[in-house]
Amino acid sequence: MNRLRATPNWRSCAVRRKIRDMLAYSATPGDRAASLRTDPAWVDSQLGRADTRVLPMWRDRPLMSAAGTPRTLTGPLAKAVLAAASQTVLLSTAVFAADLSDVTEEEALRLAGAEESADLRGLVNSLPGTELATLAYARGLLFWNRNARFCGSCGGATETAHAGHLRLCPACDRLHFPRIEPAVIALVESPDPQPRCLLARHQGAGPDGFALLAGFVEIGESLEGAVRREIREEAGVTLGEVTYRGSQGWPFPAGLMIGFVAQATDEQVTVDGSELVEARWFTRAEVVERIVNGPGSGPPDSIGGWLLRSWAGLD
Cα torsion through 141, 147, 150, 152, rounded to 10: -90
pTM of the full predicted structure? 0.88
Check residue 32 and give its pLDDT: 94
**CATH number 3.80.10.10 given to 180-311:** no
Cα dihedral sign, 256-261-264-270 = positive
Contact, 34 vs 43, CB < 8 A?
no
C-alpha to C-alpha distance for 114 and 95, rounded to whole angstroms: 19
Contact, 184 vs 168, CB < 8 A?
no
Class of domain 40-176 as given by CATH:
alpha beta
Residue range(s) of every CATH 3.90.79.10 domain in the chain: 180-311
Check residue 19 and give its pLDDT: 53
304 class by beta-carbon count within 10 Å (0-12 exposed, 13-18 middle, 19+ buried): buried
Task: Please provide residue 40's backbone torsions phi and psi, each rounded to the nearest 5 degrees.
Answer: -60, -35
- Collapsing DSSP states into helix, strand and coil, what is residue 178? coil
C-alpha to C-alpha distance for 310 and 142, rounded to whole angstroms: 33
Contacts of 229 (CB under 8 A, 6+ apart): 215, 218, 221
Residue range(s) of every CATH 3.90.79.20 domain in the chain: 40-176
C-alpha to C-alpha distance for 254 and 27, rounded to whole angstroms: 17
C-alpha to C-alpha distance for 230 and 61, rounded to whole angstroms: 32
Q: Divide the 315 residues of the chain into consecutive groups of 10 and give the mean pLDDT of each group.
A: 40 47 81 95 96 98 97 97 98 97 98 98 93 96 98 98 98 97 98 93 87 97 98 96 96 96 96 88 95 80 94 88
Q: Is the peptide bond before 207 cis (omega within 30 degrees of 0)?
A: no
Check residue 293 and give its pLDDT: 87
- Collapsing DSSP states into helix, strand and coil, what is residue 256? strand
H or E element at residue 142: helix 129-146
- Residue 255 bridge partners (DSSP): 181, 250
